[in-house]
């Protein structure tokens, strides 16, 4: 990704340089949303959500943090002695990760994970609703099969998502209905990130219910081990290799 298209990374870089930064999320139905702020990508462990603190206890062995942002998860695990690799499609996010001390930070979109060798990792982290980076049903299945190949036999995926069917905002519900009419999943959104005069490329982002997640996992070599609920539509799935 070119830096002039890296709205997400520009926000992270701005906050890293001690200035407030809030990126805008633009959806393809012209809906505009404001993020919670780039500071969320820098949160220390004490400021994590309760469900994240609970889920991270399942991390083991060599870790791949997909969509690592500013490196908050990777740096925490690295400090705990884990061998962590962080990947992100944002070049500026990776620059910030390196400057903050993450030893292995690679500019790489999720679509390129097949570049890793077989059995490279024991844990895959997808915090921050990053199950959404799978994009759509078909692509998710393909990438999950790839994750199965590059992970050890007893590996885990720790993935956060948000159930779109538990949202009652009429604007979002109308968008879900429109998606279904187009043959898409309800929570299959098309968005881009904007920050100041930086406008990112459009990309698909997938929000799923637990049932939908299980349908996606079927036949990929993965299955649900357990869920960690948040008390709101967000949840984390602990996903293990199928027997």
Strand, helix or coil at 10? helix
Instruction: Tell if the pTM clears 0.95, that is, is over it.
Output: yes
User: How buried is 40 (Cβ within 10 angstroms: 0-12 exposed, 13-18 middle, 19+ buried)?
Assistant: middle
d(Cα 65, Cα 21) in Å, to the nearest integer? 23
Domain 3-36+46-241 coded CATH 1.10.3720.10: no
Q: How many Cα atoms occupy the beta-carbon half-sphere of 14 within 13 Å?
A: 16
User: How buried is 43 (Cβ within 10 angstroms: 0-12 exposed, 13-18 middle, 19+ buried)?
Assistant: middle
pLDDT in tens, the chain (243 residues): 887 899 999 999 999 999 999 999 999 999 999 988 999 999 999 999 999 999 999 999 999 999 999 999 999 999 999 999 999 999 999 999 999 999 999 999 999 999 999 999 999 999 999 999 999 999 999 999 999 999 999 999 999 999 999 999 999 999 999 999 999 999 999 999 999 999 999 999 999 999 999 999 999 999 999 999 999 999 999 999 998
**Boundaries of every domain in the chain:** 3-36+46-241
Give, to the nearest 10 degrees, the angle between helix 91-100 and helix 72-79.
Answer: 30
């Amino acid at each position: 990704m070119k830096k002039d298209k890296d709205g997400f990374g520009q926000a992270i870089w701005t906050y890293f340089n001690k200035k407030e930064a809030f990126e805008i999320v633009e959806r393809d139905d012209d809906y505009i949303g404001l993020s919670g702020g780039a500071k969320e990508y820098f949160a220390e462990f004490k400021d994590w959500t309760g469900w994240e603190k609970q889920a991270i206890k399942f991390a083991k062995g060599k870790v791949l943090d997909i969509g690592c942002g500013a490196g908050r998860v990777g740096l925490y695990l690295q400090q705990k002695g884990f061998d962590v690799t962080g990947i992100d499609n944002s070049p500026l996010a990776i620059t910030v990760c390196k400057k903050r001390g993450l030893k292995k930070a690679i500019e790489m979109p999720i679509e390129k994970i097949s570049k890793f060798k077989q059995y490279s990792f024991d844990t895959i982290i997808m915090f921050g609703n990053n199950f959404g980076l799978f994009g759509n049903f078909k692509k998710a299945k393909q990438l999950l099969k790839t994750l199965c190949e590059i992970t050890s036999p007893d590996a885990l995926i720790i993935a956060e998502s948000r159930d779109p069917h538990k949202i009652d905002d009429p604007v979002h519900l109308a968008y879900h209905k429109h998606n279904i009419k187009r043959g898409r999943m309800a929570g299959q959104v098309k968005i881009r990130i904007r920050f100041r005069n930086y406008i990112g490329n459009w990309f698909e982002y997938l929000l799923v219910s637990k049932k939908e997640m299980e349908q996606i996992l079927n036949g990929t070599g993965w299955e649900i081990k357990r869920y960690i609920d948040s008390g709101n539509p967000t949840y984390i799935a602990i996903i293990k290799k199928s027997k």
